[in-house]
Structure 1
Amino acid sequence: MATQLDLQEQEQLDQLKAFWNQYGNLITWVLILALGAFAAWNGWQWYQRDQAVKAAALYDALERSAQAKEADRIASRFADLRDKFGRTPYAAQGALLTAKVQAEAGQADAAKATLTWAAESAADDAVKALARLRLAGLLLDAKQYDEALKQLDGAAVPGMAPLVADRRGDVLAAQGKAEEAAAAWRQAWDGLPERLEYRRLVEAKLTAVGAAPAASEAAR
């Protein structure tokens, strides 16, 4: 009986050796790759968390400069945030905040450059669209109408259409295209919620060009 068991065990060992000789290297490499992938994933997660923490710290410093309206310092801090953590949401939000401070400080060219970076490099499409919308406003102030309209063409994001239409109306009005401006403002007015105060501003623009919504609806 013992001999029979010994023979069975030996046969099983021989089968195991044969299996390992045939597939051992493959199994080893699969394990190495699996463990390597797991280690890489853990490393990437740690790196992402580390980047987010450092980016948040820089953004906090940038916010403090914004509150103090330190246009030159905020530009330096934004450059640091952009260069080191340009793909994080903090960089995109930092660009919008920096451009606001720069514009208020009369640094229009610097604000345009900051918004251009956000419009081209932000990871979020909504932030890109908002940057283009604000950039169009600065270009309108600079009488660069064609470039302003070009920026608005690239700001087509769901939910932002009324604001884009309103700004388009402003540009068209500045070009002396009253009818086209009224059409754009009407599109904005139609798309804005009734209780939104901003809608009253758009309505005032329509009224100023003789296209008050109330009058046009009464005439139907």
Structure 2
Amino acid sequence: MAIDDLLDEHEQSERVRSWLRNNGAGLLGGVALGLAVILGWQWWQKDQAGKKEQAYQEYQTAVEGLAKGDLKQAKVAVDALSRNDALYADTAGLQLAKAQVEAGERDAAIATLRALTPDDALRPLINLRLARLLIDAGKHDEALKLLDAADDASSLEVRGDALLATGKAKEAQEAYTRALTTLDAVSPQRRLVELKLIHAGGTPPKTGGAA
């Protein structure tokens, strides 16, 4: 091997050592950061899996409580779920509220539904059930506020119920009529809404198949 080649290799080695001296700390820091990210991600996944498992167990506790009529056990589980998993909490909360109504605990059912924090997909259903209970409790204004922006048939029907209960027959007629415009002619719900509209002093609109 030529002396020039040996000098080149020596020079290259010195350059490598020099680069490591100047950049070694940054390189080690980058490796450490990469390891921290990987370990953090693994910890987060494990933590999330643990929370999901805990939420599932709490949901099962709520279901078991409802199955044996132990509403206290179910409520404790739903309260715990509300702090850990909104979806499970909403699902179990709806079931708990239904059981509370059947047990004659209307006010407890109202409190249960009010405590839920549903997403946009489930909020209309919860608001509808809560509005019905509020009307039964004589809290018509609260029910109307809940359904203020709703435009589905069931919500419009219940809105009509609240308006009629407060003596606003004309507005109730309008709500029932709007509900009918969204219902199919053969819908079982249609006949009930038509009867409510007639009771409020209105006239059901003719369907497309009417002569």
Secondary structure of the structure 2 residue equivalent to 1:176: coil
| Partner of residue 140, structure 1 | 135
In the superposition, the TM-score normalised over structure 1's length comes to 0.82
Deviation of 1:168 after TM superposition, in Å, equals 1.0
The answer to whether 1:110 aligns with 2:108 is: yes
Deviation of 1:107 after TM superposition, in Å, equals 1.2
Contact 1:59 1:90 in 2 (8 A): yes
Structure with greater proportional helix content? 1
Residues 79-105 of structure 1: CA deviation (Å, up to 9, x unaligned): 33334x2x3411121111111111211
Return the letter of the residue paired with 1:191: T
Distance, in Å, in 1 between the alignment partners of 2:46 and 2:31 is: 23
Larger C-alpha radius of gyration, 1 or 2? 2
Return the letter of the residue paired with 1:115: L
Taking structure 1 as reference, are residues 193 and 38 closer, same or farther at Cα in structure 2, changes over 3 Å only?
A: farther
Long gaps (5+) in structure 1: none
Taking structure 1 as reference, are residues 188 and 14 closer, same or farther at Cα in structure 2, changes over 3 Å only?
A: farther
Distance, in Å, in 1 between the alignment partners of 2:122 and 2:190 is: 22
Distance, in Å, in 2 between the alignment partners of 1:196 and 1:38 is: 56
Deviation of 1:216 after TM superposition, in Å, equals 10
Contact 2:61 2:77 in 1 (8 A): yes
The answer to whether 1:165 aligns with 2:166 is: no
Secondary structure of the structure 2 residue equivalent to 1:106: coil
In the superposition, the TM-score normalised over structure 2's length comes to 0.85
Deviation of 1:74 after TM superposition, in Å, equals 2.0
Taking structure 1 as reference, are residues 198 and 88 closer, same or farther at Cα in structure 2, changes over 3 Å only?
A: same
Taking structure 1 as reference, are residues 9 and 214 closer, same or farther at Cα in structure 2, changes over 3 Å only?
A: same
Deviation of 1:171 after TM superposition, in Å, equals 0.7
Contact 2:164 2:172 in 1 (8 A): yes
How is 1:54-203 mapped onto 2 (pairs within 5 angstroms)?
54-83=54-83, 85=84, 87-118=85-116, 121-122=117-118, 124-153=119-148, 156=150, 161-194=152-185, 196-203=187-194
Return the letter of the residue paired with 1:184: A
Deviation of 1:215 after TM superposition, in Å, equals 7.1
Distance, in Å, in 1 between the alignment partners of 2:62 and 2:187 is: 31
Secondary structure of the structure 1 residue equivalent to 2:206: helix
Long gaps (5+) in structure 2: none
| Partner of residue 16, structure 2 | 16
Taking structure 1 as reference, are residues 2 and 58 closer, same or farther at Cα in structure 2, changes over 3 Å only?
A: same
Question: Bigger CA drift: 206-215 or 30-39?
Answer: 206-215
Taking structure 1 as reference, are residues 10 and 164 closer, same or farther at Cα in structure 2, changes over 3 Å only?
A: farther
Taking structure 1 as reference, are residues 52 and 15 closer, same or farther at Cα in structure 2, changes over 3 Å only?
A: same
Question: Bigger CA drift: 5-14 or 105-114?
Answer: 5-14
The answer to whether 1:211 aligns with 2:209 is: no
Residue identity over aligned pairs, in percent, reads 36
- The alignment's C-alpha RMSD in Å is 2.6
Deviation of 1:61 after TM superposition, in Å, equals 2.4
Deviation of 1:48 after TM superposition, in Å, equals 1.4
Distance, in Å, in 2 between the alignment partners of 1:161 and 1:4 is: 88
Secondary structure of the structure 2 residue equivalent to 1:213: coil
